[in-house]
A and B are shown apart, each in its own frame.
Chain A
Amino acid sequence: MASSHQASGIQAGRLSSQDIVDNFGDLHPAYDAHEASVAADRCYFCYDAPCMTACPTSIDIPQFIREIQTGNPEAAARTILDQNILGGMCARVCPTETLCEEVCVRETAEGKPVEIGRLQRYATDALMAKGGHPFARAASTGKRVAVVGAGPAGLSAAHRLAMLGHEVVVHEVKGKSGGLNEFGIAAYKSTNDFAAREVSWLMQIGGISVKHGDGLGAGLTLDALKADFDAVFLSIGLAGVNALRAPGENKDGSRDAVEFIAELRQATDLSTLAVGRNVVVIGGGMTAVDAAVQSKLLGAENVTIAYRRGQDAMGASRFEQDLATSKGVKLMFNVMPVAVHGEGAASEIELEYTSIVDGKVSGTGETLRLAADQVFKAIGQTLEGQPEGLVLEARKIKVNDTGRTSVAEVWAGGDCASGGEDLTVTAVAEGRDAAMDIHSSLMG
């Protein structure tokens, strides 16, 4: 018999299988044709559209919406994918509320933007459902490019390079491609194995081979790659996780949120996944929200996000915050972890109230304790395992506008590289732009 919300400790089966299936359904269900037509009709076809400027990949949004409006979702998809080959995933995971939809003039006019993300999904789904691949490779250039990391930046670069006629070898240390699309991101944003389906669709361009299990420090060196290939693109993400630096953070029940999310994303049956009765997530970004909401959806009784600054400073958008509270997650602001308590396993977390002095967080001395049989640490990821010799900037690989690193013939993009927000869409843009620069460098 399934255990209930109230069962203490970290337990599987807090909810029925059906409840879990329902809970993890699509956050934004796909539009049907009628819904898409109504939504598309709201677009004003703005001049030099603000949505397009706000999109890190500069998708021509008014154009693709007009293509939907005129009954041509596949042409719309082509418009999207020309700029952003992972337009399908971005339609699902982009924080549109802080990008294109935030600046939509209908947000200004009526407080209700055109639902650009869902329209993008409608178009890309239509094209992918047709099967086949809309892009063809140029004649072979005879050049070979190595990509390290098969996340959004790496896949974007690989596809563009392959399209331009280069031969691409992607080295991915994990057993599956996709990066955070596959291992990060809340499950309700990428249902029905979409990340994997999108990767295999992308690979249809041809000219890309993927070597799983290959990573820097896991059989590969940058020098060897440089010797074997005409150019190297590094998209290794942020493999390290920041520590709380609070006593007890390594007790049983306390773990990194990214690890929990990855495990959840890879689970074939979510009802077998264990979660605590009282879950506390430390952090204020998207990872914190994803971990907290999914804990709640798995049946945790009490889920709290504890963030050390005020609400406005939270990395997660207001939409994500509201999503969390609508699912029953409690948001606490201006508290920071002091210690994780418990005999052996975690049972309580001690938090200290904070105030912001000159922009810096400082404890007020007042503390409180929350029941916590599970603590998720979501206070940021860090660059780890990068090759020697690359100049860093703000603890990331320093790159210029087109992704060039300090080392000749080596480019980098995505979360591991300096500049831009750590978003899928930004990674796609960086991968694409680096690919174009690699191309001109190789062909110049």
Chain B
Amino acid sequence: MADLTSEFLGIKSPNPFWLASAPPTDKEYNVRRAFEAGWGGVVWKTLGSEGPPVVNVNGPRYGAIFGADRRLLGLNNIELITDRPLEVNLEEITRVKKDYPDRAIIVSLMVPCEEQAWKDILPKVEATGADGIELNFGCPHGMAERGMGSAVGQVPEYIQMVTEWCKKYYSKPVIVKLTPNITDIRQPARAAKNGGADAVSLINTINSIVSVDLDIMAPNPTIGDKGTHGGYCGPAVKPIAMNMVAEIARDPQTHGLPISAIGGVTNWRDAAEFISLGAGNVQVCTAAMTYGFKVVEEMISGLSQWMDEKGHASIADFMGQAVPNVTDWQYLNLNYVAKAVINQDDCISCGRCFAACEDTSHQAIAMSEDRVFTVKDDECVACNLCVSVCPVENCITMEQVAPGQLDERTGEVVSEDYANWTTHPNNPSATAAE
């Protein structure tokens, strides 16, 4: 039985599944229930400075996009940080941590970009006994208009400065949560590292408008007759988050910086993928908001089963294993050749592969009068679109044409040598192959 125990920045938790800072972690009641359901840790919903708390809108806060059967694929929100008094949150954190010493509790924070504000709040947080803090430099709506959240996360100098203050006034691990609403995620990650951050967590939500109400001509969620951009999350953002995690993991300047991955983690496989790209653990929100806390059970059993099958005794065994295989396009092997193969036994003859290939790709699939679909090897460039649109998993596969075999499309024998764009004759800046 695989050991799912996670030790992230020295913070132990029974599994690598933490609930992200968000509505599910806004109060003692939820967090206790989450721990009873099996979650390894929580990042408490973001606290603000002492004084009157922020207020939320009194209309809808969420908008969504759906896949087939109304499966929620993407969720956006315009909720702000906690709207409960600081003292109440701190008392609750203290109580819960005391009762659940084996679970991780991280406190998310967002106060103004002034040293005094951080100096004021950090000792209070330290007194709760929580295991660490996460700096919310991510929220793209509402708080950003007040110079906080993503307004900080978009300026590397601010990230570094605030991180330094936190390291100065707080003794435990400091995690910097990054916004994806930037052009190059490596810049804020480097700034966090330079500021002394123990880890980064990402991604926060992506700025978005999920839909427009065509009757009232306003974005959803609509408050009266107006809407605003909100933070987008859920399964739809996972690819964006994974790329950003991988970019940080393979950047020489930040390589090795612990990462808590966030963004559309919905099942064990998503978690395993993030961890393989260098994350030390994962944070989950939308999946819990969609299905309830119980989803963690499948994450635990699935990850455990897979690790057993693969012979991974612990999370560390496969952490970052995929990072060396994330490379730049220019280094991909141009002598690798594959062709699509359609398994006729599994094919249900829907013809979507044909429509996709014929209309939008390389005209490499033939359709017979009795609806048998076959790949034309002399046209197929192995683009994988047919695989992507086929409704039957594994019905179409990409099979490598082994070196020494003929590629019917080019009429050339596949070379066994590795050759990439940097050495390709069509590349004006190519360097001669050694």
Instruction: Give chain A's interface residues, CB within 8 Å of chain B.
Output: 37-38, 41-42, 44-50, 105-106, 108-109
Q: Are B355 and A47 in contact (CB under 8 A)?
A: yes
Q: Are B371 and A41 in contact (CB under 8 A)?
A: no
- In the complex, the chain A residue whose C-beta lies closest to that of B349 is A105
Q: Are A37 and B352 in contact (CB under 8 A)?
A: no
Query: Is B392's beta carbon under 8 Å from chain A?
Result: yes
Query: Is B70's beta carbon under 8 Å from chain A?
Result: yes
Q: Are A50 and B349 in contact (CB under 8 A)?
A: yes
Contacts known (A50-B371, A109-B392); A44 close to B70, Cβ less than 8 A: no
What is the minimal beta-carbon distance from A36 to any residue of chain B, in angstroms?
12
- B contact residues around A38 at 8 Å (CB): 69-70
- In the complex, the chain A residue whose C-beta lies closest to that of B358 is A47
- In the complex, the chain A residue whose C-beta lies closest to that of B71 is A41
Q: Are A37 and B348 in contact (CB under 8 A)?
A: no
CA distance A41 to B391 in the complex (A): 13
CA distance A23 to B7 in the complex (A): 65
Considering only residues 375-408 of chain B, those with a C-beta below 8 Å from chain A are: 391-392
Q: Are A105 and B69 in contact (CB under 8 A)?
A: no
CA distance A355 to B222 in the complex (A): 73
- B contact residues around A50 at 8 Å (CB): 349, 371
What is the minimal beta-carbon distance from A437 to any residue of chain B, in angstroms?
27
- Total interface residues on B, CB under 8 Å, equals 14
CA distance A42 to B67 in the complex (A): 11
Contacts known (A41-B69, A109-B392); A47 close to B348, Cβ less than 8 A: no
CA distance A50 to B392 in the complex (A): 17
- In the complex, the chain A residue whose C-beta lies closest to that of B373 is A47
Instruction: Give chain B's interface residues, CB within 8 Å of chain A.
Output: 68-70, 348-352, 354-355, 367, 371, 391-392
Please provide the 5 A-B residue pairs with the shortest distance between their CB atoms, ordered closest to farther.
Answer: A47-B351, A47-B355, A41-B68, A105-B348, A109-B348
- A contact residues around B351 at 8 Å (CB): 46-49
Q: Are B69 and A47 in contact (CB under 8 A)?
A: no
What is the minimal beta-carbon distance from B366 to any residue of chain A, in angstroms?
13
Q: Which single member of A37, A41, A47, A108 contacts B354 (CB below 8 Å)?
A: A47
Q: Are A108 and B349 in contact (CB under 8 A)?
A: yes
Q: Are A44 and B391 in contact (CB under 8 A)?
A: yes
- B contact residues around A37 at 8 Å (CB): 70
Contacts known (A37-B70, A38-B69, A41-B68); A46 close to B352, Cβ less than 8 A: yes
- B contact residues around A42 at 8 Å (CB): 68
Q: Are A44 and B69 in contact (CB under 8 A)?
A: no
Contacts known (A50-B371, A109-B392); A45 close to B352, Cβ less than 8 A: yes
CA distance A38 to B71 in the complex (A): 11
CA distance A45 to B354 in the complex (A): 12
- A contact residues around B367 at 8 Å (CB): 47-48
> Interface centre among B68, B70, B348, by most A CB within 10 Å?
B348
- In the complex, the chain A residue whose C-beta lies closest to that of B355 is A47
CA distance A75 to B350 in the complex (A): 24
- In the complex, the chain B residue whose C-beta lies closest to that of A47 is B351
- B contact residues around A105 at 8 Å (CB): 348-350
Q: A44-B350, A47-B352 are in contact. List 11 more A-B contacts (CB 8 A).
A: A38-B69, A41-B68, A44-B391, A46-B351, A48-B351, A48-B367, A50-B349, A105-B350, A108-B349, A109-B348, A109-B392
CA distance A37 to B352 in the complex (A): 21
CA distance A105 to B391 in the complex (A): 10
- In the complex, the chain A residue whose C-beta lies closest to that of B68 is A41
Q: Are A47 and B68 in contact (CB under 8 A)?
A: no
What is the minimal beta-carbon distance from A172 to any residue of chain B, in angstroms?
42
- A contact residues around B352 at 8 Å (CB): 44-47
CA distance A131 to B338 in the complex (A): 57
- In the complex, the chain B residue whose C-beta lies closest to that of A109 is B348
Q: Are A47 and B70 in contact (CB under 8 A)?
A: no
What is the minimal beta-carbon distance from B358 to any residue of chain A, in angstroms?
8
- A contact residues around B68 at 8 Å (CB): 41-42
CA distance A45 to B391 in the complex (A): 11
CA distance A55 to B69 in the complex (A): 26
What is the minimal beta-carbon distance from B260 to any residue of chain A, in angstroms?
35
CA distance A49 to B354 in the complex (A): 12
- B contact residues around A44 at 8 Å (CB): 350, 352, 391
Q: Are A106 and B348 in contact (CB under 8 A)?
A: yes
Instruction: Jot down 17 A-B pairs with beta carbons below 8 A, ordered by A.
Output: A41-B68, A41-B70, A42-B68, A44-B352, A44-B391, A45-B352, A46-B349, A47-B350, A47-B354, A47-B355, A48-B351, A48-B367, A48-B371, A50-B371, A105-B349, A108-B348, A109-B348
- A contact residues around B350 at 8 Å (CB): 44, 46-47, 105
CA distance A327 to B70 in the complex (A): 36
What is the minimal beta-carbon distance from A264 to any residue of chain B, in angstroms?
40
What is the minimal beta-carbon distance from B361 to any residue of chain A, in angstroms?
13
- In the complex, the chain B residue whose C-beta lies closest to that of A44 is B350
- B contact residues around A108 at 8 Å (CB): 348-349
What is the minimal beta-carbon distance from A195 to any residue of chain B, in angstroms?
35
CA distance A216 to B363 in the complex (A): 57
- B contact residues around A47 at 8 Å (CB): 350-352, 354-355, 367
CA distance A109 to B355 in the complex (A): 19
- A contact residues around B392 at 8 Å (CB): 109
CA distance A108 to B68 in the complex (A): 20
What is the minimal beta-carbon distance from B48 to any residue of chain A, in angstroms?
40
CA distance A49 to B371 in the complex (A): 10
- B contact residues around A109 at 8 Å (CB): 348, 391-392
CA distance A44 to B371 in the complex (A): 15
- In the complex, the chain A residue whose C-beta lies closest to that of B354 is A47
What is the minimal beta-carbon distance from A46 to any residue of chain B, in angstroms?
4
- In the complex, the chain B residue whose C-beta lies closest to that of A53 is B371
CA distance A108 to B355 in the complex (A): 19
CA distance A46 to B354 in the complex (A): 10
- A contact residues around B391 at 8 Å (CB): 44, 109
What is the minimal beta-carbon distance from B396 to any residue of chain A, in angstroms?
14
> Interface centre among A42, A46, A47, by most B CB within 10 Å?
A47
What is the minimal beta-carbon distance from A74 to any residue of chain B, in angstroms?
16
- In the complex, the chain B residue whose C-beta lies closest to that of A108 is B348
